[in-house]
């Protein structure tokens, strides 16, 4: 069952959900608006799922950064987000989809126990300037049923944009 905005706020107050920094103006009826952090990675050329890619790092300044089509970008949320109690789901904002920005194209599920700045998958259909702190999407929180096992994998440990790791397919 999905938490309402009021339940999310109460869970943040009770330290059952971590959203840091937390801004009550970012609350929605069933989610919280997460924002773009300052770190970005991109890869050029052909990506091969069997090998590590060479990623170029950039810092998004106050003037923003122009994303271009034909390239995958990895960014991170400005907020540390997660919970030992609830499962998270991160999706993009429909308003940014209308600008041709696709956020979290494939991996929207965040397991219990993963508490960090989240890696975001970004792709655009036309050049688009993004700026740090802009709302990129919503995170919702879900109750689980059954015995809980906290996530302890490599993708739940880093707060920087984390590229694909080929052994993760093994």
136-146 pLDDT, tens per residue? 999 999 998 88
Catalytic residue, candidates 9, 16, 84, 121: 121
Tell if the pTM clears 0.75, that is, is over it. Answer: yes
Kind and range of the H or E run holding 123: strand 116-124
Segment 55-82 shows an average pLDDT of: 96
State residue 8's pLDDT score: 98
**Dihedral sign of CA atoms 93, 78, 106, 138 in order:** negative
pLDDT above 90 for 155: no
Segment 23-30 shows an average pLDDT of: 98
pLDDT above 80 for 119: yes
> Rg (Cα) of the chain, in Å, rounded?
16
State residue 168's pLDDT score: 58
Kindly indicate the confidence band of residue 45, based on its pLDDT and cuts at 50, 70 and 90: confident
pLDDT > 90 in the chain, percent: 69
CA 166 → CA 31, 50, 53, 79, 155, distances in Å?
Answer: 32, 5, 9, 27, 13
Q: Is 84 a catalytic residue?
A: no
Query: Which of the four CATH numbers 3.30.420.40, 2.70.40.10, 1.10.3720.10, 2.70.98.90 does domain 5-43+53-145 have?
Result: 2.70.40.10
């Amino acid at each position: 069952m999905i938490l309402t905005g009021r339940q999310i706020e109460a869970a943040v107050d009770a330290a059952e959900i971590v959203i840091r920094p937390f801004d009550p103006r970012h609350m929605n009826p069933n989610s919280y608006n997460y924002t773009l952090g300052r770190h970005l990675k991109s890869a050029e050329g052909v990506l091969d799922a069997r090998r590590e890619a060479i990623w170029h790092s950039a810092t998004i300044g106050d003037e923003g950064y122009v994303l271009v089509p034909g390239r995958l970008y990895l960014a991170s949320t400005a907020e540390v987000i997660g919970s030992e109690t609830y499962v998270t789901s991160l999706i993009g904002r429909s308003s940014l989809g209308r600008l041709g920005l696709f956020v979290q194209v494939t991996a929207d599920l965040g397991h219990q126990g993963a508490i960090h700045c989240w890696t975001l998958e970004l792709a655009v259909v036309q050049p688009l300037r993004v700026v740090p702190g802009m709302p990129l999407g919503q995170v919702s929180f879900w109750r689980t049923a059954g015995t809980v096992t906290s996530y302890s994998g490599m993708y739940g440990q880093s707060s920087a944009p984390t590229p694909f790791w080929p052994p993760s397919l093994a």
